[in-house]
Structure 1
Amino acid sequence: MRIASDVVDYEVLASWMDSQGLPGGEIEDVEQLGGGTQNVLLKFRRGGTEFVLRRGPKHLRAKTNEVLRREARVLSALDGTDVPAPRIIAACPDETVMHGAVFYLMTPVDGFNATTGLPALHAGDASIRHRMGLEAAISLARLGAVDHEAVGLDGYGRPEGFLERQVPRWTSELEGYSKLDGYDGPEIPGLDDVAAWLESHRPADWRPGIMHGDYHLANLMFSPSGPEVAAIVDWEMSTIGDPLLDLGWLLATWPDADSVDIAGPVGQAGGLPEPAELIAAYAANSTRNLDAIDWYAVLACFKLGIVLEGTHARAAAGKAPREVGDLLHTITLGLFARAEKFISGGAA
């Protein structure tokens, strides 16, 4: 059964694939996959080969095509590295081909999302779940080790002044929410103190590299036969910045005794490594200086909390479901409480 042709025009797809010298024949066994909340992900078979197509949603947003072009560029650049990521087969950056939508084809990933379900092997062995967490940190270290200029990603982001921009950028974003009718402004204990601490403790030296931008367990696919990361997915937020912010993001979103539900089944099953173990695993596979890792974890809490508060503000203005806004506001409060914990006691 095919997905509706108003999402993917199969005749156009087949013609374009022929022009790329890809296997021909009928497009068969079409299946819609999860992964990402906005973009379309389809697996299909043609000429005895399996492909995964990624494109924007049926109703494209203003920046959708540019995001897809950037995803294709970064994934192509990572081909040949030891970073576990989907491999690009071919990309169509020309939006006129598929009725306005940029798309690309990649290899299928043999893996599962541990935040939505666990195979029996992983569910039944705490040592495997422990190693899964360490592998998440190790895979991230591999990404941070890639020379972005050597793989052709010079100009992919604006690393100059990256750290200096962070607090003003997200403070301004938060202030902008107040323009929404019905939102009385953020009620976030610790907001000003966290912002001030970030500004006064900002690292003086750092080394630019590839950032995933949203690195947490839900954006990892794990091998069904062991603890290894099969692929890092959803590269929509990728840029050239400070890769240690990705490690901070992992720490900020890592489940603890009070928040196992944020990681779904793998968090609830237990056995995951402690934050100190994640940091040690990253350090053992990286040449980066982790002396300021507390700062990156606090920044991640600050940034993510403000991003989630945006939905709370839109809900107050009637532009998003109230229950969703309330839930995300609760998570924001938890992130700022975690930031203050990191400040007082360290991320490890």
Structure 2
Amino acid sequence: MAGRAVLAAMLVLATVAGGCGSAPGRTTAATTTVAEIAPVALSVEEPDGETVRARVSGGVWVADVTVAGHSQPGSLVRVTTGCTRPSCLLSAQTDGEGRWRVKLRAETTSDHPYVRIVAELAGQSALTLVKLQPPAAARKRPAKGRKARKRASRSGGRTGGAAAPSNREGTEGLPEPPPPATLPAPPAGGSPSPSPVTPSGSGGTASSLLMVGDSLAVGMQGLLPAQLPGWSVATDARKNRTLAEGMARWRLEKGNAVVNAFSLFTNDGPANTAALEAAVRETAAEGCAVWATIARPAQGRVSYAKANATLERLAAEMPGRVVVVPWAAAVADHPEWLVSDKVHATGAGYQARAQLYAQAAQSCV
């Protein structure tokens, strides 16, 4: 009896092991699903124009700057501030969520307090700026001067009255720079332009593009380099960026890029076409400039039709210097490329937008 019970138990186990619902004589092979890792665009999120207190070393302003951003998990991002010391060029390893962080040295001079930071990975470049604040010692001089005048006044000295303004002028320290919107282009002796990125196996860089833009540029940041194989593609993009802010960033970041591309004016009022035209003319003076028509619902009952007409007119007036991406017409033909807000794009929309920008850039060279 005991032997029969054991045999019955073995038969039950064999049936269960065969799998519930399996056809007789068939075995079910175990399958392993490997999760695919979605591509992550290279971005620099810290700093973004923030101010860092500098110190004086060898006649230049120096600061230790923490730079952070996102990229493909497991990748190695190359980060540089453009100076020649080894601590100005470091690599950062991304974690499992694609985050990376590194602290490196930044250098500049008092007449140009902004430093350009470049992150590079596999043909992509992401840009940002940091502003170095005057060293603390320079800011303490006025206080020392006031204390000296007070001591001289108490001791019967002759440093008061009319002499005071002259003394203050000599102890004010370094002047504050103008706001970014009025800053000129970097001087010849300022921070060098980012070196071109040569993708692995490309055999050299065919050309170069600098993209400055808003959230629409953020959406295609990781897609554009693939559309321009062999190119050096650098991007500075931020959500809610206005035309004025974008132009200020471009003036500081423009280097030797063959093509300057812009994804701007979507966050500006549609009636401000004079500022748009001035911006396009300024960028066209530096080479080939790529701009896109605006697809956005009317603001205050004013549409972006006049702004788009301005872009088309300037492209006709300056062929080869201004190339227009027909984004408004493209999404009119493909409304499914926009999400519900009728401004931002779907995944397919960003892919199409990147292709249109790439075609425009290639027509420049």
* TM-score, normalised via structure 2 length: 0.29
Higher strand share: 2
The structure with the largest alpha-carbon Rg is: 2
Higher helix share: 1
